[in-house]
Structure 1
Amino acid sequence: MDTQSFSLYLYVLLIILPILLLVVLLKRKINVPPGSSGWPVVGETFRFVFSGPQKFFTGRQKKYSNDVFQTNLFGQQMAVFCGAQGNKFVFTKLTTPWWPLSVKKVLYFPEFTGSVIEISAVLFSFVHQLLKPEALKQYIPVMDAMAREHMQSEWHGNDVIKAHSLAKKYTFDLAIRLFINVVDVEHVNRIFKHFALVITGLFSVPINLPGTAFNKSVKGGKMVREELLKVISKRRKEMMDRKETSPSSPDFLSRLLELQDENGKFLSDKEICNNIIGLLLASYEATSTALTFMLKSLAELPHIYDQVYKELSEIAQSKKEGELLTWEDIQKMRYTWNVACESLRLTPTGIGGFREAVDDLSFGGFTIPKGWKALWTAFTTHKNPEYFHDPEKFDPSRFEGNGPVPYTFVPFGGGRRMCTGKEYARLEMLVFIYNIVTRYKFERANPDEKIIFLVTPTPKEGLPLRITPHAK
């Protein structure tokens, strides 16, 4: 090829290649899910907060696609998967864990925020073993004893209580006791106060300016980590001084201190702290919200309350004076758990779950490019009449027999993405409700109280309940 021909060839190539590339990119753009990016920086986050997740998600389903649409939440472009097939797709396809920057900056040490917080196989297996039913049986008497103490100190002698704040206190106190075995009341209250700040801006636009929810949340996270590091350092020293390898009553922290990764290396204090914070968050915020709205349902629906009371009082009458609940007692609370599930269906406790595509994915006729964030959510199935007849009706019988169609009821995720803490949450909720219902009849003090959405659905006044002790 002579110089002139080569120059012409190169010229044509330089002209055609960009055009071909543009065509490919345009085609790729056309195939991504429809939707809106909203405003610069904030995206559609404010619209999401003000309208609430149910209205936001179902509204965009109708506007863009019933299968998958794109949006921008918490500073990140993402694809929202809808319906049972959308949930199944995210649970089973090639995706990896992902958290919004706002969450990582609040919860984790700065050196961990720039990377994917991935759980190793060893740690995943460890947590799974710790939270499986067989391992949790030993904690039921502790849960029951703490619930009784809580009833005596926080409910007894009051005419009106605020259920939301008390549910938070119980779930947090229990988590601190079981996971890191801190029993000093002043210390627990101090961590609780800092943790409350964490929740305020956990899912928010990550603008760290004084006075913003995110700024308060970042400060709260820093103080929680400092408190936990003190506990971890002290426990490590105690175990080394005693040359203790198998504590007589090992909690989550003690076992984490003994855990070695795939390379035989022990976890650092900061890595342990990250895992404890994640466990505290999962066991505290979601469960306390679930308890709050279960109590709301029982207060509003006397016929449901009566059936729960009948089931639980039969268990109570079978116990000796002062005898604590057992695993066998929990298994008898079938109707009560159906009520809990129906409450979770009507009021999911969180937005859903975040993932990231590890390769290009195809769903609903659209392409989700590698690196895109994916969100599954209960809000596109839990009140969908296609899956639940008369979806606004409170009907615990939906969960009898085989229960709902797979991937339609997803408060704990599904498939291999199922929340490992599901059984812990079930035991915690049933023990708490047992101790309330067998002691009190209750009704809402303000039936017109509004529900707002912060990180989770929240009664604006804390769900005040007027309580009446059962006659002995």
Structure 2
Amino acid sequence: MDLLLPFFLHLSILCISLSLIVVVHRRKSRNTKLPQGKTGWPVIGETWDFMMAARCGTPEKFINDRVRKYSPEVFQTSLLGHNMAVFCGSGGNKFLFSSENKSVTGWLPHPLVKILFSPERVINSFKEESAKLRKFLPELLKPEPLQHFIPVMDSMAKDHLKADWFPYKQVKVFPLSKTYTFALACRLFMRIKDPEHVSRLQNHFNLVTKGILSIPLNFPGTAYNRAINGGNMVRAEILAIMEDRRRELISESKEPEFIDILTRMLLVRDENGNPLDDMEIVDRVVGLLFGSHDTTSASISMVMYYLADNPHVYMKVLKEHVEIQKLKAPGEVLTWNDTQKMKYTWCVVCEVMRLSPPGHGGFREAIADFSYADFTIPKGWKVLWSVHSTHKNPKYFRDPERFDPSRFERNGIEPYSFVPFGGGPRMCPGKEYARLAILVFMHNVVTQFRWEKVIQDEKIIYMSIPMPACGLPITLHPHKN
């Protein structure tokens, strides 16, 4: 019995302490005006509702239902096991984009961090790694260095269409665009040309993308476990490429004409003159692959989806590209100046991204208690901004369900209402890369083909990206020379 006394004493102290914490928390909650909303089921929260709306092709429904019920500015929910405040409207976007490192900071759910970052660096905060990435990448992804990528993009698009489109009367756009954009990323980011090497890397990476939104159960055979293993295999491949590249840099007597992003990273020195850590470089390349591959292929697929439904828009796009082509000599590749002439095509791409955004939005974490719209967001709460609160909102876009690229030819788009790439300091650093990759591919495809959808009313599923449910099969009609 004497041996149990200390146990009961500690248990009593623990119970009293917990009771006091609960009482204090309740009093604080009564004095704090939290956003309205509900947190749903324990642990699961409203994650299932969110995912089902996306799978049904109406991701905006989750947002709109709660905006009508609770508040047009901000509401409370629970996603991915966290209390979360969802900010809505252009005002909510502006507040979050301008509050970086003041009220909020970057955040990703730990299961995603475990997949995307190397094991020895998972312990570092996402904020730390993201800050380093965003400080470094914009220099590599500015228009000036990207100009050198355009000839490679153009020649690869031509080769891809010749090999994988021209021999067939019907093709599936979505899987082909994924193959193309991954090969393009491998070429531009790591100078990998060998098709077998690219295919092996893509197989590893597909494990990552398939498991990124799975239930985070790390047991053999689960999608999440395969995603972690796939991420580790991708990192091992990149480390091997880095060793080869270092040997090349030592043996080469002069700087190569085309320098890929990985090589640039190997040449970079920090403020103390030291090279970047190997795993730091690897994680940055994985981040680039993840951020550029699926989103770019999804946008290409959705542009072709909408152009098939709107032949009058297709004809205007074709006319723009034929005018560019007329000024080119046979076999001459596209240049930066050519892409600057693709103004109407970019309006079409923007309208497609408004209706079918390449991503849902982004997460933040409150680093201090702050107020917005007369509500308090407590420190530690997670925050979500969503494209679905503005992109189809009639307050910002008249007749929002109508496909109308001309709305982007005018200057009437309200700031912070069109946010496919986010905004503020955390705006996607790959925006210009994605713009060029999409425009160059569309130049090649529209000047070679017109097309028709095989499934006229093919459903679009929204998970991490918009995906045609059947891969967007189309019938090709090559232009007559």
In the TM superposition, what is the alpha-carbon distance from 1:396 to its structure 2 partner?
0.7
Is it true that 1:463 corresponds to 2:472 in the alignment?
yes
CA contact (8 A) 1:37 1:43 kept: yes
Of residues 167, 176, 196 in structure 2, which corresponds to 1:166? 176
Q: TM-score w.r.t. structure 1 length?
A: 0.91
Cα offsets for 1:393-445 (capped at 9, x unmatched):
01111111324110000001123322111111111000001100000010100
The answer on whether the counterparts of 2:186 and 2:198 sit within 8 Å (CA) in structure 1 is yes
Question: Cα gap change, 1:60/1:233 in structure 2, threshold over 3 Å: closer, same or farther?
Answer: farther
Change beyond 3 A, Cα 1:261–1:369: farther
SS at match of 2:208: helix
Corresponding residue to 2:198 among 188, 197, 217:
188
Partner of 1:420: 429
Q: Tell whether the 8 Å contact from 1:102 to 1:204 is kept in structure 2 after alignment.
A: no
Counterpart for residue 234 of structure 1: 244
Aligned-partner residue type, residue 43 of structure 1: G
CA distance in 2, matches of 1:458, 1:425: 17
CA distance in 1, matches of 2:77, 2:108: 16
**C-alpha distance in 2, partners of 1:45/1:346?**
23
Could you give the per-residue CA deviations for residues 165-192 of structure 1, whole angstroms, max 9, x where no partner exists? 1111111111110111111110100001
Matched residue, 1:203 = 213
Residue in structure 1 matching 2:345, options 333, 336, 344: 336
Decide which of 260, 274, 282 is 2:283's aligned counterpart: 274
1:128-184 per-position Cα deviation (integer Å, ceiling 9, x unaligned): 121111221111111000000001011012111110011111111111101111111
Map Cα deviations across residues 114-135 of structure 1 (whole Å, 9 max, x no partner). 3322247775343112111122
The alignment partner of 2:83 has SS state of strand
In 2, are the aligned partners of 1:333 and 1:430 still within 8 Å (CA)?
Answer: yes
Q: Which residue of 2 aligns with 1:361?
A: 370
Q: How does 1:321-470 map to 2 (within 5 A)?
A: 321-470=330-479
The counterpart of 2:94, out of the listed 80, 88, 93, is: 88
Give the partner amino acid of 2:36: P
Q: Is the 8 A contact 2:92 2:385 kept in 1?
A: yes
Report the alpha carbon displacement of residue 284 of structure 1 after superposing the two structures with TM: 0.6
Confirm whether residue 38 of structure 1 aligns to residue 40 of structure 2.
yes
**Structure 2 length normalisation: TM-score?**
0.90
Counterpart Cα distance in 2 of 1:122 and 1:246? 27
**How far, CA to CA, are the matches of 1:374 and 1:245 in structure 2?**
49
How has the CA–CA distance of structure 1 residues 101 and 123 changed in structure 2, closer, same or farther, with 3 Å as cutoff?
closer
Q: Deviations over 1:51-93 (max 9, x none)?
A: 1122212222222221112222233332211100111111001
2:186 to 176, 184, 199: 176
CA distance in 1: counterparts of 2:434 and 2:412, whole angstroms: 19
The separation in 2 between residues aligned to 1:38 and 1:235, in whole angstroms, is 51
Aligned to 1:77: 83
Q: 1:222 aligns with which of 232, 238, 248?
A: 232
Query: Does the Cα contact within 8 Å between 2:133 and 2:284 map onto a contact in 1?
Result: no
- Could you tell me which amino acid in structure 2 is paired with residue 405 of structure 1? E
| C-alpha distance in 2 between matches for 1:65 and 1:121 | 32
2:67 to 39, 61, 72: 61
**Match of 1:349, as an amino acid?**
P
The one-letter amino acid of 2:202's match is: F
2:82–2:381 Cα contact (<8 Å) kept: no
Provide structure 2 residue ranges, at least 5 long, that are not aligned to the other structure: 1-15
Query: In structure 1, how many angstroms separate the alpha carbons of the residues matched to 2:173 and 2:24?
Result: 58
RMSD, aligned CA: 2.3
Q: 1:319 aligns with which of 328, 352, 356?
A: 328
CA distance in 1: counterparts of 2:22 and 2:41, whole angstroms: 31
Deviates more, 1:214-223 or 1:138-147: 214-223
The aligned amino acid for 2:404 is D
Does the aligned pair in 2 maintain the 1:97–1:354 contact within 8 Å?
A: yes
Structure 2 distance, partners of 1:180, 1:25, is: 56
Change (3 A) 1:332 1:96: same
Q: Is the 8 A contact 1:354 1:373 kept in 2?
A: yes
Task: Give the whole-Å Cα distance in 1 for the aligned partners of 2:443 and 2:21.
Answer: 68
State the AA in 2 paired with 1:258. L
> Are 2:451 and 2:475, in contact at CA under 8 Å, matched by a contact in 1?
yes
Question: Aligned partners of 1:373, 1:280: CA distance in 2, in Å?
Answer: 26
Give the Cα separation in 2 of the matches to 1:347 and 1:23.
42
Letter aligned with residue 219 of structure 1: N
Q: How big is each residue's C-alpha offset from its partner over 1:359-385, in whole Å with a ceiling of 9 and x where there is no partner? A: 212111111112222111110000000
Q: Which runs of 5+ in 1 are unaligned?
A: 1-13
The equivalent residue for 2:162 is 152
Q: Does 1:265 align with 2:274?
A: yes
- Indicate how the Cα distance of structure 1 residues 198 and 29 shifts in structure 2: closer, same or farther if over 3 A, else same: farther
State the one-letter code of the partner of 1:33.
Answer: P
Distance in 2 between residues matched to 1:21 and 1:50, nearest whole Å: 37
5 Å-filtered alignment, 1:83-162, equals 83-93=89-99, 94-117=103-126, 118-119=128-129, 124-162=134-172
Residue 292 (str. 1) matches residue 298 (str. 2): no
Q: Which amino acid aligns with 1:74?
A: L
Between the aligned partners of 1:339 and 1:78, the Cα distance in structure 2 is: 34
Point out the more displaced range, 452-461 or 385-394: 452-461
| CA distance in structure 1 between the partners assigned to 2:76 and 2:31 by the alignment | 12
**1:38 alignment partner, SS class:** coil
What residue number does 1:306 align with?
315
Q: CA deviation at 1:28?
A: 6.0
CA contact 1:122–1:261 (8 Å) conserved in 2? no
Q: 1:35 to 1:65 in 2, by over 3 A?
A: same
| SS class of match (1:169) | helix
Q: Percent identity?
A: 49
Deviations 1:256-300 (A, max 9, x none): 112223343322221111000001111111111111111100011
Q: Is contact 2:460–2:466 with CA below 8 Å preserved after alignment?
A: yes
Cα deviation for residue 36 of structure 1 reads 2.6
* Alignment deviations for residues 229-265 of structure 1 (CA, whole Å, 9 cap, x no partner): 21123223433x4387955432111111122233433
Quick check: 1:168–1:288 contact (8 Å CA) kept in 2?
yes
Q: Which residue of 1 aligns with 2:6?
A: none
Contact kept? 1:345, 1:382, Cα under 8 Å = yes
